[in-house]
Each structure stands twice: as structure tokens, then as C-alpha cells.
Copies of this chain bind each other. A is one copy, B any other.
């Protein structure tokens, strides 16, 4: 892929922050003694699990929806997603009183379907594969004239997600590292652009599950490696980085660390037990990364921000490691 990195500016992210402020939560940045003791670092947990809809996704979705024209708003929005973007878009559409059409794969987690339906969106089922999802979304778009809102390969979405970093650096200007999970890359790109424009020396560390390490492999090889068959317990991170996000990752992310599903679930459990924050496996990756031999130990000497990206857990199918 030879896309030129698109320009998303600090100004666009600051404008997004002003735009979405009345509609989303400013989430707390918490510390926890036990996690500090175990990691040897000074950690600050950005609790996007407390965000509306249970994940950071409400930021980007709100930023995109609020920029629709009146005519576009009448026709509503469409996306395909089995997860947090679906919930966020449905929630924002409801609050703006516009129609939302969400293409969800058959077999999607019941709790997520319940939440999407609870926000008043129309759910359209399709075969559980990416092609079928894309085709169905296209069909819905043609039939309804709804605007397609991509979960991450969309400048307004990326700018919205970048507001997480602006908030963190206001809450603690001393942060020298931010650790971010990478799925499609919308969050890490927005955060990296916002953080580096504000604090040029800040280090951005992305984290991927070992079974969905397309960005890691792309960064290692210097060329875009799309995700083909992601296998990980972190359901929010099964997406492939895209045409917009990959060049931005290459440009702005300092390092990507991979973590195994076992370490993700160990960390999830640690966070649940010791912080009482209900986070989803995607969020636990950033805690697991601290234990990786690849994690730069010098980062532990100064304040580190960890983005707990969401808390939408499938409570019906929790799997703990049996070794405990």
C-alpha cells in the first residue's frame, strides 16, 4: 500500500473535543497501588470503560454523526460491526434522533445485540464474515441512503478517538508514555497524533494480541500486512488496520508489543480483582504489555498512561485460565 498518510491535525482533534464534549463523558484517570507495586511503575488508568456505551467508540461516533448535514441526518447512518462501534453508533444516533442500521453477524454476542437493540437501532443480520458484512452494509446504504460510518478508517472517527489523549494529558501533564490497544487502529492513531502534537517527546506504545498482530507484523516488515484470520479472546481487537490507519501507525507509533491470550486473561482478572474496574479483554492487553520482556523498562521510571478502552464483556462466556 502506498497511501500518503492523510493529515489529521491537532486542531481537528481539539475541534472534535469541543464538538463532542456535551455528549460524552470525561472519564476518570485513576491510579492503583497494587498495580503500581506489581509493575514497579507509576500507572494512570484512563477509564474508557465508563464512557457512554461502555467504550471509547462513543467519541469517534459522536464526532462523525454531529458533522452530518441535515439531509444526511434524516437518512440516518449505517455500519457493520459486531461490537463496540455498533453500540456507540446506535447510542449516538438515538441521542440525535436519527435512524441507525447496524449490520451484525449471525452469532454475535447476545449482550451486544441487546444493547444495540436497546438503543433503538435496526439490526440487520448477515453471514459471519467480513465480505458478507461489507456487502450487506452496501445494500442497506443503497436502500436507505444512510451514511456509512466506518469504525476506524474515517478521519472524523480518528479525530474523535484522539480526544482521549487530550483529556489524559490535561488530567496528568506528566505522562511520558501512553500504552494503547490496537484493533483497527482508530484509537492509537488519534491518540498518537494528539499526544505527540501536545508533548513531542511522549512515547506511544501499541499493544496487539499475539493472534491478531497485523500491525506488529506490518511495522516489523515495513509493509502493510492485512489481518486474515485473527484469533484472540480480545474480541475488540480482531479488526485489521486499514488504508487510513496503517500509514499513521507507521508514522506515529513508537513500538508495538504483542501479548498472548493467557496473559490478557491473567491481566483482566488482576484488574477486576484489585481495581474493581470491569474491563473487557481488549483493555487488559495494556496491563499485560507491562510484563512483556519487550516493554521498555525505562518507561517505568516516569508516569505511564494506560488506556482501558472498554468494558463490554460477554459475561455469559467468561473463560478463566484453569491453572489458578
- 1/0 contact trace for A22-35 toward B, CB 8 Å? 00000010000000
- 1/0 contact trace for A235-272 toward B, CB 8 Å? 00000000000000000000000000000000001001
A313 contacts which chain B residues (CB < 8 A)? 272
Contact indicator B315/A49 (Cβ below 8 Å): no
The count of residues in chain A whose C-beta lies closer than 8 Å to any C-beta of chain B is 20
Can you list 12 pairs linking A and B with CB atoms under 8 Å apart? A49-B276, A54-B276, A111-B273, A269-B315, A272-B278, A272-B315, A273-B315, A276-B278, A276-B279, A315-B320, A316-B320, A316-B324
Contact indicator B273/A276 (Cβ below 8 Å): no
Partner of A276, one of B50, B316, B318: B50
A277 contacts which chain B residues (CB < 8 A)? 276, 278
Residues 277-311 (chain A) with a chain B CB within 8 angstroms: 277-279, 311
Contact indicator B316/A318 (Cβ below 8 Å): no
- Give complex CA distance A152, B79 in Å: 54
Q: A276-B277, A277-B278, A318-B318 are in contact. List 12 more A-B contacts (CB 8 A).
A: A28-B28, A47-B276, A49-B276, A50-B276, A54-B276, A269-B315, A272-B313, A272-B315, A273-B315, A276-B278, A276-B311, A278-B278
Interface of A, helix, strand, loop or mixed by DSSP: mixed
A237 to chain B, nearest CB (A): 18
A320 contacts which chain B residues (CB < 8 A)? 315-316
A111 contacts which chain B residues (CB < 8 A)? 273
Closest residue of B by beta carbon distance from A51: B276
A306 to chain B, nearest CB (A): 16
- Give complex CA distance A320, B313 in Å: 14
- Give complex CA distance A272, B316 in Å: 12
A90 to chain B, nearest CB (A): 14
A50 contacts which chain B residues (CB < 8 A)? 276
- Give complex CA distance A276, B275 in Å: 12
A305 to chain B, nearest CB (A): 19
What 8 A-B pairs are tightest by C-beta distance, nearest first?
Answer: A276-B311, A276-B278, A49-B276, A278-B278, A272-B278, A50-B276, A54-B276, A269-B315
A315 contacts which chain B residues (CB < 8 A)? 269, 272-273, 320
- Give complex CA distance A273, B311 in Å: 8
A279 contacts which chain B residues (CB < 8 A)? 276
Residue of A50, A276, A320 with most chain B CB atoms under a 10 A cut-off: A276
Closest residue of B by beta carbon distance from A310: B276
A320 to chain B, nearest CB (A): 7
